[in-house]
Structure 1
Amino acid sequence: NKVDNLNFENAFHIINKLGDGGWGELYKVQDKSNNKYYALKKLTLNDKEKQYVLNETQNLIKPGSKFVIQYYHSWVESNFLYHQMELCLDNLTNVLKIKDSLFSEIMNILEFHISYYIFYKLVKCVQYLHESDIPITHRDLKLENVFISMDGRIILSGLFLAKEVVNDLMYSDVGDLRYQAPEVGTDTNGYNHLIDIYSLSMIGAQIFGFDIYDIFDGK
């Protein structure tokens, strides 16, 4: 829900800072009204960006979905845009670092099954977006936007650039260049939801330990 009169300092205790990036900072906070813990993202945007991200977030998030992170409140305060959302165990970047530290350079059958499970669940998340009643293109799929929920589910975050698209093409040059499909920003004919599949392949390469530059080279 959009909240207009919520005050960050009065409503939450800051427990610790979880990270930076994606336009802002991420904190673990405790809600003073119910003593529950949440993740709170503080975004630094200009006025046009604030309204765009606020509107898109309200339109796109499907409450109760097991495939995307749960957003609870969004509000603008003191030139910052805040998003209150569910607290997760970790993101996929850190999970892969742990996985790499536990296994040798050559993938064994156990590591393969772990990698397969992670990638399979991630594919199901993207499938959920693409096959929603009004299809959604994420447009910013990357390791940092894949999280592990408190009950162990793979879920997607970072939907601030996502777009509801029925039949129209998209033209905006958005997303992380490391995961961005070649046609984004270069093809004047526009692009569609398949850009998410390209980004998904880049994530999959890292999950299974492939060289992502082989994808760039078409190998």
Structure 2
Amino acid sequence: FKQTINTELTNDGNYKSQFIEMSAIGSGGFGTVFKVKHRLDNKIYAVKKVQFGDFSEEKKQKIFKEVKSLAKLHSDFVVKYYYSWLESNHLYIQMEFCSQSLRSLLKDKHIVFEKQQEDQINLFEYFISCEIFKEILESVQYLHESVPPVIHRDLKPDNILIDLNFTSNRFVKLCDFGLATDHDTDRHTASRYGHTSGVGTIKYMSPEVIHCREYNHKSDIYSLCIIGEELFGINLQA
């Protein structure tokens, strides 16, 4: 598959002719993600379907930005991007399929570890949680050390995928780069230099982003702290 964006609107039924839609696996402000099977190779993929409708040009550009962000991040640390195309006023983004997110894992953790939700973390759960968190940190480190550095700006359990097929030596991957932005380290931290203030999911947003102050990649670190609290069942702010 070519890692390019087809910018020509078509009406050739490309999506339905290539894929069998199996189930919806997630949705957000910019579209719905479906689990699909390719008709030729029978492989399973994730396809994000965005209906433009009456979207403003600014909102369309944000969506295209997600595609471009994914396309340039070739790494096991992020979900793999294959192809994207415009069709009948929809944008389709074909990506690697991962069967779980950290959110679903946290929701079912008491079942997996055979305990009551109010029980304290045991040794086995602690070991698994440490391994997951280590891989999350490595994935974010990859973004921050990219050239130019990338700030995700919407880190949360929903955007951390778990690849149970172990297609690589890792099983944690980041996704949803609709709010990601390149960070110019020479210009330091200011939102006035192109970083939009007030973006992200409120629970995981750093105070400087919430209050529209200058911020940098450390806003992602704050989000990681909140994710760590959920993963290990602790409250550092108590």
Q: TM-score range by the shorter chain?
A: 0.7 to 0.9
Deviation readout 1:181-214 (Å, 9 max, x if unpaired): 11114234x2111110011111110000123xx5
Name stretches of at least 5 consecutive residues in structure 2 with no aligned partner: none
TM-score normalised to structure 1 length: 0.88
Asked whether the 8 Å contact 1:50–1:81 carries over to 2, the reply is no
TM-score normalised to structure 2 length: 0.81
The residue aligned with 1:28 is 35
Asked whether the 8 Å contact 2:197–2:210 carries over to 1, the reply is yes
Distance of 2:61 and 2:20 partners within structure 1: 26
The residue type paired with residue 186 of structure 1 is H
Distance of 1:163 and 1:106 partners within structure 2: 38
The residue aligned with 2:49 is 42
Deviation readout 1:133-158 (Å, 9 max, x if unpaired): 21000001000000012316100001
Asked whether the 8 Å contact 1:171–1:185 carries over to 2, the reply is no
1:183 to 188, 194, 208: 208
Do structure 1's residue 127 and structure 2's residue 141 form an aligned pair?
Answer: yes
Q: How many residues align?
A: 213
Moved over 3 A (4+): 59-64
Residue 37 of structure 1: how far off its partner (Å): 1.4
Asked whether the 8 Å contact 1:54–1:74 carries over to 2, the reply is no
Asked whether the 8 Å contact 1:18–1:26 carries over to 2, the reply is yes
1:68 to 78, 86, 90: 78
Distance of 2:5 and 2:105 partners within structure 1: 32
RMSD: 2.0
Identity within the alignment, %? 38
Name stretches of at least 5 consecutive residues in structure 1 with no aligned partner: none
Distance of 1:176 and 1:209 partners within structure 2: 20
The residue aligned with 2:184 is 166
Distance of 1:172 and 1:79 partners within structure 2: 30
